[in-house]
Amino acid sequence: MRFFYDPNNTNLKKAINNQQLMGQDKLKDVVIFKRELFKLSDGGTVAIDWANYNDKVINRPILAMIPGLSGNSNQNYNLSMIMEAEQYGYQCVVLNYRGAAGVDLTSPKLYCAASQYDFREIVDHIHFNYCTNENGKQLRDIFMTGTSLGANNLGNLIGEDGDKCKVKAAVCFQPPMWLYKSSACIDKGLYGFYGKHFGKTQSAVVRPHVEYMREHIIKSHGIDLRQKLDEVKTLRDLDDKITCIINDYQTIENYHYYGSCATRIKGIRIPTMFMFAEDDPIIGKESIDYEQCFQNPNVMIGVTKRGGHTGYFESAFSPEQWFPKPIIQFLNSFRDDLN
């Protein structure tokens, strides 16, 4: 068991520092994405963004990353991870959600905290087309990381797949292990600001797709998506009035329980690290399920005193983050070419 501590005493407040937001452009300059559009089995479409792709080097291990709730490939935490991983020869790729990252919905379904079925299809696609030759011989391994909501999806994926998992090792970075506990943390955070903020931003993600989905949702689930979206004030409202219903959980309680990766940790059969910060104002330390992690010998948990939510900045004026260092060190431990 290993616990990491932030020696720089950094926190979430640095994530919204103007210097860092400006500095993010410096990180973008070193990463060029090549987009692949992948069609899911139900007709949905997702963007697979390959970072600095080099098709002439076919034996580099792949590091597939799932972003957070409203994330995309250009999020600061993705760019920092890519910069660190490329130093060790990884071919990085960001796996985006359906209806996100500038891709239109092509099936009447939205992503959520339990969209692991989408990512299973994407991983199968990458494994078959990029990791094996025409004879089925494996040429390289897939490693994975997920951040925040993406980490919950990753935990769900590898927990469900068990011994059949195609991923060599994984890191879940600040997942809401118990969605209902993280939801409560968001609701009370900054006197309700976080709940209202995420309710507004995620409603903005859904709104462009309302007319495309509206008729189907009325027929399949009996709710008017436009009307329900107008009633949303907080992220919990969105989960309660829309997300839980259109994803067939029926109630927000069912969604927040059965969508939580903590319910699947016991099924994980690959080396996996969960990483958290105790001062995370979004996930909340109450959501960290130490017991579930301790009971699985394949799982390691690292908890820092500080770091905020996807923070961990090198300094107050730097856009670079230090959390990728222990993450990549952990994944490197399971690479055959380095050991």
Which residues are catalytic, by number? Answer: 148, 280, 309
- How distant is the alpha carbon of residue 48 from its chain centre? 14
E strand residue ranges, 90-242: 91-95, 142-147, 167-173
Q: Is 331 within 8 Å of 171 (Cβ atoms)? A: yes
Report long-range pairs for 67-71 (Cβ below 8 Å, ≥24 apart): 67/94, 67/96, 67/97, 67/147, 67/148, 67/150, 68/147, 68/148, 68/149, 68/150, 68/151, 68/310, 69/148, 69/149, 69/198, 69/202, 70/100, 70/198, 70/201, 70/202, 70/205, 71/147, 71/148, 71/150
What tokens appear for 216 in the block? 């189907």
CB atoms within 10 A of CB 327: 22
Residues 12/311, Cβ–Cβ less than 8 Å? yes
Q: Are 58 and 141 spatial neighbours (Cβ–Cβ below 8 Å)?
A: no
